[in-house]
Structure 1
Amino acid sequence: MTVTFDDILAARDRIAGQVDRTPVRYSRRLSQLTGAEVWVKFDNLHFTGSFKERGALNRLLQLTPDERKRGVVAASAGNHAQALAYHGARLGVPVTIVMPEGTPFVKADGTRAHGATVVIKGLDFTGSTEEAHRLRDEKGFVFVSAFDDEGIVTGQGVCALEFLEDAPDLEALIIPIGGGGLIAGCSVAARAMKPDIRIFGVEAAMYPSFAARRRGETPKCGGQTIAEGIAIKAVGEIPFAIADPLVEEVLVCQEADFETAVAYYATLEKTVAEGAGAGGLAALLAYPDKFRGMKVGLVLCGGNIDARMLAVVLNRELVREKKMIVYRILGDDRPGMLSKMSAVIGGLGGNIIDVVHNRLALDVPAKGAEFDIMVETRGEAHAIEIRHGLEEAGYELRMG
């Protein structure tokens, strides 16, 4: 079984006019930040918020009339689910989606809103897949894999076809890997259009299934990652066979890399990325020397992040940048202490966000207290200036 460039061209024609052609833009800010010439394809701007629409629609359009009537079932953490649900509703194909426990509400709610039946079952994608197979056998549904399906892979390849038509000078593509459908299809399309282009994959450190399989190892996968869209314990058989000879290297990124990438897309590009969707930028930030001076394309492949999680990520990035910091101060528990501390912080330009008194810590004198003062600063240098100011005023800082 294989996928050819002609298959991808046929998929493009099949889905034409039914899926948005997402914009490709040169990013001055990300280029200045990383030292590469960075181009971004904004697949988060699809109607359902991710790249999955091309593959899902292409696969649905290949169903026989009998299969359309029976309906389809799939396991998905959310993006494949929403794409199938939306296009299934358009085409009159009943869709049932099995989602793992802990799937972000925004993805589950979005799937239901498109008319699909949602079943929450399984601790992870593997468990959800087992339930989807059971429903296939019991109900007669057609199982549509999120990635291990030629129709899905060929549809996803249209992403790279569009990318290189809009940015033909690209020297490298960095593409997130979950089950492998996107990187498999994109690798075929990109190499057909530009044989010398370099393809890099990105995986979360908690789910390095493609990288481990390449080394002939059993992947050690598990844990709660912000990149839940690529939290797959086993890369698909079809995608791996296609992508393995075409992908130069798979870059494994830590949670902090994904968080920073999500934050930078929001603050620098003014766009919303989910953890997996920001994987390309995460790799570029984690491995800058590999790409410095190169023309690099990033597929921002999804923007379906829970609003609460986005807020958490943005605040955590402020903490990393020392733009939000907690000063833990040991002082006397008497009137006026807090106002004096506040005067020092305010006099140096810090903005107090929150204050917590701790009078019960046993390593604090009975007549004393710990003050945890959360302060907004202009950055690390300003945070250090405030710390020195508090110390010069005679306060004992335990951390900050």
Structure 2
Amino acid sequence: MLELEDVLAARDRVAETSRHTPLDYSHTFTRMTGAEVHMKLETFQRTGSFKIRGATNRIMTLSEAEKDAGVVTASAGNHAQGVALAATRSGVDSKIVMPKHAPISKVRATENYGAEAVLHGEDYDEAAEHAHEIEEIEGRTYVHAFDDEKVMAGQGTIGLEIMDDLPEVETVVVPIGGGGLISGIATAVKGRNPDVRVVGVQADGASSVADSLQKGSVQTLDSVDTIADGIATRSVGQQTFDVIDSRVDEVVTVSDSEIAVALAYLLERGKTLVEGAGATSLAAILEGAFDYEDGEVVVPVLSGGNIDMNLLTTVIVRGLVETGRYVKLKTVLKDRPGSLRTLLDVIADAQANIYAIQHDRTSRDIGMNATEVELDLETRGPEHVEALLDSLRENGFDVEVLV
């Protein structure tokens, strides 16, 4: 099993390529949660994700024959960029298989770092199958995204940095996809101080670990469905499972809505761009997915910031909806002068702001003398939304909340 000595050796290998990322105390999230929150900002890492650490450690431990043959891997995006950069810096040819629906920003970044990107499969697992076929045909070395001791050791250098920068840490919260990140961090943290708690977080739509721990063996999901594409794997690895089972204290899950809220708060209050997978650790703290004491020193690992811009727009809106900052309404008015003005007066009196309005007389769902109106509104929170709805209904409007 991976040991602290492996992580310490990896630190020397990755020092030139990876960055010692900031550990940032957050007044905002400390006030919101009651814990003392210090965010480990792997969003500032080279390639925008922690993955460069493990990829570099693995590439640097290849034999000369393996380097000459080149490498291949599968990735949803972040591991792809890490392997691409690490391989290019070492003069090694790399081929990366990515799911067909991988964010275009991550595909382009992978190619820009010098790798050949191959799009194949619906998710990481199907991409990995194809990558292994390439491994057999072309004789390349497969660089696993997580189930590899050298990769795990590289990711564990994050744990060493946390312990060096904040020795008083009490709990470290880590996203879990395939398990490489939390395996490395748990090994480093527990190796330095066994009393520090390590909590893993998965997305509800990709939560294989709890079932695996309960049954004592790796369990594989039929499919995954989450906005956190960086941790959208059907199962953890066998090696990572063994470390998680031995060294991780607790594993919890968060919903996509909770992830979206955390991401929106990070943007608005923390001025930090984080991808869905990276926001899961903070989401678990904000939602109280695990118990912690007032004043407990907690470090959420924000594992990456490579989010697709189209997805970012969707997630921001979802976060605003969940926090009562945005609402979309539909109602039907009589098709006569002044009806729309009356509706808008009620909204104005309630101090809601209109983003957009759609006025449709042609809908088949309404009468010939009626018109359907949809409104996108900016609001100030859940209480404001409820007060607005009450006011509309008191004034005779039959309102449907669309989002």
Residues 98 and 128 of structure 1 are in contact (CA less than 8 Å); yes or no, is this contact kept in structure 2?
Answer: yes
CA distance in 1, matches of 2:242, 2:329: 53
Alpha-carbon deviation of 1:396?
Answer: 3.6
Deviations 1:294-313 (A, max 9, x none): 21111100111111111111
Measured in 2, the distance between the counterparts of 1:147 and 1:275 equals 18
1:368 aligns with 2:383: no
Residue 208 of structure 1 contacts residue 221 of structure 1 at CA under 8 Å; is this kept in 2?
no
Maintained 8 Å contact 1:262/1:275: yes
Native 8 Å contact 1:209 1:221 kept in 2: no
CA offsets, 1:46-82, max 9 Å, x none?
1201001111111111111121111100010010100
Rounded to whole Å, the distance in 2 between the matches of 1:370 and 1:163 is 56
TM-score, normalised with respect to structure 2: 0.94
2:336 matched residue in structure 1: 334
Partner of residue 71, structure 1: 70
Aligned counterpart, 1:273: 274
CA distance in 2, matches of 1:291, 1:110: 38
Aligned-pair identity (%): 39
Q: Which residue of 2 aligns with 1:359?
A: 361
Change in Cα spacing, 1:194 to 1:394, as seen in structure 2 (3 Å) is same
- Partner of 2:292 in structure 1? 291
Contact kept in structure 1, 2:72 and 2:143, CA below 8 Å: yes
> Using the alignment, how far apart are the partners of 1:179 and 1:289 within structure 2?
21
Q: Does 1:146 align with 2:135?
A: no
Counterpart mapping for 1:1-400 below 5 A: 2-216=1-215, 218-287=219-288, 290-293=291-294, 294-361=296-363, 364-399=366-401
Of residues 182-191 and 219-228 in structure 1, the stretch that sits farther from structure 2 once superposed is: 219-228
Partner of 2:158, secondary structure, is: helix
Change (3 A) 1:105 1:363: closer
Q: In 2, Cα distance between the equivalents of 1:245 and 1:289?
A: 19
CA distance in structure 2 between the aligned counterparts of 1:282 and 1:87, rounded to whole angstroms:
31
Kept after mapping to 1: 8 A contact 2:120/2:127: yes
Instruction: Report the alpha carbon displacement of residue 398 of structure 1 after superposing the two structures with TM.
Output: 4.1
- Alpha-carbon shift at residue 285 of structure 1 (Å): 2.3
Q: Within 2, Cα distance between the matches of 1:71 and 1:50?
A: 23
Deviation at 1:346, TM superposition (A): 2.5
Assess if the C-alpha contact under 8 Å between 2:329 and 2:374 holds in 1. Answer: yes
In 2: Cα distance, 1:319 partner to 1:7 partner? 45
Give the Cα–Cα distance (whole angstroms) in 1 for the partners of residues 156 and 398 of structure 2.
59
For 2:184 and 2:312, how far apart are their aligned partners in 1? 29
Quote the offset at 1:363 in angstroms.
5.3
**Following superposition, which runs of at least 4 residues in structure 1 exceed 6 angstroms of deviation?**
none
User: Structure 1 stretch 328-337 or stretch 130-139: which is displaced more?
Assistant: 328-337
Distance 1:288 1:133 in 2: 37
The one-letter code sitting in structure 2 at the alignment partner of 1:177 is: I
Residues 61 and 32 (structure 1 numbering): CA distance in 2 closer, same or farther, change over 3 Å? Answer: same
Once the 2 structures are TM-superposed, how far is the Cα of residue 399 of structure 1 from its aligned partner? 4.2
Q: CA-to-partner distance for each residue in 1:350-380, whole Å, 9 max, x for gaps? A: 2211112243455533211221122212223
Specify whether residues 291 and 178 from structure 1 end up closer, same or farther in structure 2 by C-alpha distance, changes over 3 A only. Answer: same
73-82 or 309-318: bigger deviation: 309-318
**Distance in structure 2 (CA, Å) of the matches to 1:143 and 1:288:** 36
Instruction: Give the deviation of 1:186 after TM superposition.
Output: 0.8
Number of residues of Structure 1 aligned to a counterpart in Structure 2:
399
TM-score normalised by the chain length of structure 1: 0.95
Q: Distance in 2 between matches of 1:345 and 1:129?
A: 52
What is the SS of the residue equivalent to 2:355? strand
Match of 2:221, SS state, is coil
Closer/same/farther in 2, CA of residues 131 and 331 from structure 1, 3 Å limit = same
CA RMSD of aligned residues (A): 1.8
**Structure 1 residue matching 2:173: 3-state secondary structure:** strand
Aligned partners of 1:206 and 1:221 also within 8 Å: no
Say if 1:207 and 1:219, in contact at 8 Å, map to a contact too.
no
2:247 aligned counterpart, secondary structure? coil
Contact 1:55 1:151 in 2 (8 A): yes
SS at match of 2:92: coil
